[in-house]
Structure 1
Amino acid sequence: MNKRTLGIIGGLGALAGADLFGKLLKAHTAGHAETELHFLLEQHPFRGAGTSLEQDSNVIARKLYVFETGRTLIQRGVDTILLPCFASHVFRDEIQTELEAPVLDMMDALSQYVAARIAPGSRLGVLTSDYVRHAGLFERYFGEHYQLIYPSSLEQEGLMEAVYGTRGLQVGGADKAVIELVSRACHQLQEQQADLLLPGFTELAMVAAEMQRFGIALADINEIYAEYALLHQREVTSAPFKLGIVGGVGPAATVDFMNKVIHNTPATRDQDHIKMVVEQNPQIPDRTANLLRGETDPTVAMLSTCKRLEADGAHAIAIPCNTAHAFVPSIQPYLSVPVVHMLEETIGYIRKHYGTARPVGLLATSGTVQSRVYHTIADAAGLTLLIPDPTHQNLVMEAIYGEQGVKAGYTTGRCKEELLAAAAHLADSGAQVLVLGCTELPLILPQCERFKLGDSTVALIDPTEILARRCVELAYAH
């Protein structure tokens, strides 16, 4: 048996939300028992509930309430959301963009109802709030194929009173005076030759049956929406790609990596860029210290950081730290999203662009060198990997960790001289391609296809640049 969990965002019109809940249960029992359905009504106090929605009403609080309640429903396992509020459907698209579950379109339900009953070109009488009318919600759905008519100013004032007044429908009032105000607005639309009357308040569903007894064919939007929801095929929405970044390893390299993602994104406006969520956690224990001296293991801290990124909706995780990749094989099995492996991407890039005949030199922390994580990948790709001798490896470490090293905020002077000396040593040893295998090193020497080192010319490869490009590719393939 199929299983679905439908959630209703209540509280915007509390009684109307409860009415929809009841009609969902009734419709399910009557004709959809072959599907196992669970219904949740999430309703909290909303200060704007009951406030008359005038033309110039500020709906920011309403938007935030809808979004937060939608998030709560999704956390409770809901796979489909119902939003019984016409005013909120003015901004439904904004909400849908930020929620993983589909928010069913009540106006689409109403459109299907209309299309099944009257031909294009017919006149539709609309009973809605000043806010919804001014926002053009009904024009958006019906304006191209139907003529829309609204009550006169006097009858509209009465309709607003019938819904929002002290004895109005929102507070459970349905006495003779309220019914009379709704009837007058309906009759006026009928006098203007409206072929069908459409509700623009979900509260009107609570008096639709009574209107029909008076000969007024006013659609029951909650019945329509309930049936639409039950017939609607469960769909999986695809949220925009979000890149999770394990930051703080090191801090400056994180910012540099994010800049590279931005620069590699073919964007012409802010909205074209990739969503990124960063867990800037400099307290992750030093990876090199663990690999060289057995100091605090960073594995748990790394997994914990990745788990938080995963929980925040990341589709892939980037770790702009070469040494940290020695721990990736341990944590990847515990994650449901992939860590984009910077070292594998870098070696793959070198093989593709420079072939396997050119020796590759590695400028990296001693931890990365000792872990042989680059060596393993290079060997599998058929590349020859060269590393500095102990003296020049010490220069690389000084360029990174020294008092005037890049981790201390320096990018010129002594650290650059030390790095250039180590690079020249590798070039003299035969390396034609140099990997800047610590993510801070490209802050000293950027990627370059032809870099002069004395009498030699080498290619400088920046793994964070390669990682950024790959992450952009993944985002556009999503």
Structure 2
Amino acid sequence: MSKRRFAATNDSKTLGKHRYGVVGGLGVVAGADLLLKMIGATQRRPDMRDVDIAFEQRHFDSGPSIADENYNPGRRKFYVYNTLKDMEARGIDTALVPCFVSHTFLSEITPELDMRVISLFDALREWLAREHPALQTIGVLTSTYVQKSAIFERQLGSRYQIVYPHPAVQSDKLMRAIYGPSGVRAGHHGGECVELLAEACHCLVASGAQIIVPGLTEVSVLIDSLRPLLAVPVVDSNLVYAEYALGCEAAPPVREFKLGVVGGVGPAATVDFMHKVVRLTGAARDQDHIKMMVEQNPQIPDRTANLIGSGADPTISLLATCKQLEAGGANAVAIPCNTAHAFVDRIQPYLEIPIVNMLSEVVQHIRSQMPAVGRVGLLATSGTVSSGVYRDVAEAAGLCLLVPDDAVQDLVMAAIYGERGVKAGFTSGVCSDHLATAIDHLASKGAEVILLGCTELPLIAIDVAVRRSIVLLDPTEILAARCVALAGASTVEVRR
């Protein structure tokens, strides 16, 4: 299925000002070099002199194998992810990651963030096209691991021919210049490391490179020493990255649609709803299914007890649960409980994400799929019936809502709340008999279709003959179908 993706916005973008964060520690001198170049770039632009830039550097030991083609970046992934999430929590909305190794896995991280992460490759692509429009061949200085990952080919290869140093030069010159005992990472910024870098660049020029693109952010630290030694230009990747980040209004981050589910009202109905979402999703693999976040809160006070008696008010508990889902990145909320919808109008104004209204979806389904139907029977808790929430939405759509007589309504409540009712874990026997009696009762009153308007009622076994006698609608199924459709709809903006 085509899943809905959401662009996250925030107040800083609305005000035209970003809070930038630089992930340091991935190469100590490279991160500091980028920070200095960002500050310098802001000073050259009067409109950005008050920009906020946070620099986050923690101890991170890459290990000696970072220069090796078989380097395992697992620890680096966790470092980058945790640093970006901490920045996000502090209100930073735009981040820079000055590390080409990290860009090989950055696409694994960005879908889990509600902040923009500026791509080094976007910066290089834009700068090369603008400054060197006739360019055909670029020489790349990068680690053996990054070279093997082929990220330069994926990002720039459609436009440019990419050449690397010969293997012996790569290992004996370039890797030594950066990672060796006299290399940049060991604190040396001149002498042997510059000479080794120059030899690697000469190899690239001999292979046809018209420009040198450092794929090691440490090279930019030595850029002034290196340039006079070469016959072709050398790109200052850090400066290009800094200026691009400050000057671009990149698209906001996108993330897959995430459905928040208010669970525990009741617990079995929650599982039933999730099962229906999964079943109704057109998926060929696990990754095609919808993200769901469930806040299972069975301690939300009973909705029916509040509506028909003196039970505790569940409004704040429902709102708090929805807020938890909102804070967890949900883009919409589903509440698989008909009775709880009597409280939705009170809650919705305090949320920035929509609650998918099961009641209105059910009525819309009847109107669109069964236009000839005029009389609808409702089997639900006494709280749902007495609240009038279904009646209001049904009558607004021109439908006549029929409810059971008091004695039959007592049977419905026994099927739900009784000692052998569905909330006690029973799905057949007495509760099935009570439900069948209530269905026959509403049919005799003229109902053309009957709503099983408590999310536990569809869990009760119903005789095949009863099912064939009249159309029974499952609001949980209709809600699930609507959530699946919502996830597959076009991109919209949501707020963080």
TM-score by length of 2: 0.90
Contact 1:317 1:338 in 2 (8 A): yes
Match of 1:363 among 362, 368, 379: 379
Contact 1:244 1:309 in 2 (8 A): yes
Q: Distance in 2 between matches of 1:33 and 1:162?
A: 39
Q: Distance in 1 between matches of 2:63 and 2:243?
A: 26
Q: 1:339 Cα shift?
A: 0.8
Q: 1:119 Cα shift?
A: 6.0
The letter of the residue matching 1:261 is V
Q: Distance in 2 between matches of 1:95 and 1:462?
A: 39
Q: 1:321 Cα shift?
A: 0.4
1:199 alignment counterpart: 214
Q: 1:292 Cα shift?
A: 2.3
Contact 1:279 1:305 in 2 (8 A): yes
Distance 1:246 1:174, change over 3 A: same
Q: 1:75 Cα shift?
A: 2.2
Structure 2 residue 307 is matched with structure 1 residue 307: no
| SS of equivalent residue, structure 1 residue 110 | helix
Q: Distance in 1 between matches of 2:433 and 2:16?
A: 67
1:463 alignment counterpart: 475
Q: 1:118 Cα shift?
A: 4.6
Q: Distance in 1 between matches of 2:219 and 2:373?
A: 77
Q: Distance in 2 between matches of 1:306 and 1:81?
A: 29
Match of 2:111 among 78, 97, 117: 97
2:97 alignment counterpart: 83
Structure 2 residue 404 is matched with structure 1 residue 392: no
| SS of equivalent residue, structure 2 residue 487 | helix
The letter of the residue matching 1:373 is V
Q: Number of matched residues? A: 474
The letter of the residue matching 2:219 is L
Q: Distance in 2 between matches of 1:384 and 1:280?
A: 35
Contact 1:277 1:314 in 2 (8 A): yes
Correspondence list, 1:9-24, <5 A:
9-24=23-38
Q: Distance in 2 between matches of 1:356 and 1:330?
A: 33
The letter of the residue matching 2:194 is I
The letter of the residue matching 1:94 is E
Match of 2:82 among 39, 63, 68: 68
| SS of equivalent residue, structure 2 residue 54 | strand
Contact 1:427 1:458 in 2 (8 A): yes
Match of 1:112 among 116, 126, 149: 126
1:407 alignment counterpart: 423
C-alpha distance after superposition, 1:4-63 (max 9, x if no partner):
222212221122111101101101211353575221212222233675242111112222
Q: Distance in 2 between matches of 1:9 and 1:34?
A: 20
| SS of equivalent residue, structure 1 residue 204 | helix
| SS of equivalent residue, structure 1 residue 321 | coil
Q: 1:445 Cα shift?
A: 5.1
The letter of the residue matching 1:187 is H
The letter of the residue matching 1:144 is S
Match of 1:430 among 431, 442, 446: 446
| SS of equivalent residue, structure 1 residue 336 | coil
Match of 1:475 among 460, 474, 487: 487
Q: Distance in 2 between matches of 1:32 and 1:264?
A: 54
Distance 1:133 1:357, change over 3 A: closer
Q: 1:89 Cα shift?
A: 1.1
| SS of equivalent residue, structure 1 residue 327 | helix
Match of 2:389 among 348, 365, 373: 373
| SS of equivalent residue, structure 1 residue 52 | helix
Structure 2 residue 131 is matched with structure 1 residue 127: no
| SS of equivalent residue, structure 2 residue 255 | coil
| Structure 1 segments unaligned to the other structure (5+ residues) | none
The letter of the residue matching 1:468 is A
2:3 alignment counterpart: none
Structure 2 residue 174 is matched with structure 1 residue 159: yes
C-alpha distance after superposition, 1:284-324 (max 9, x if no partner):
11111222221222111111000000111111100000111
Relative contact order higher in (CA < 8 Å, ≥ 6 apart): 2
2:283 alignment counterpart: 267
Correspondence list, 1:216-227, <5 A:
217-227=233-243
2:61 alignment counterpart: 47
| Identity %, equivalent residues | 49
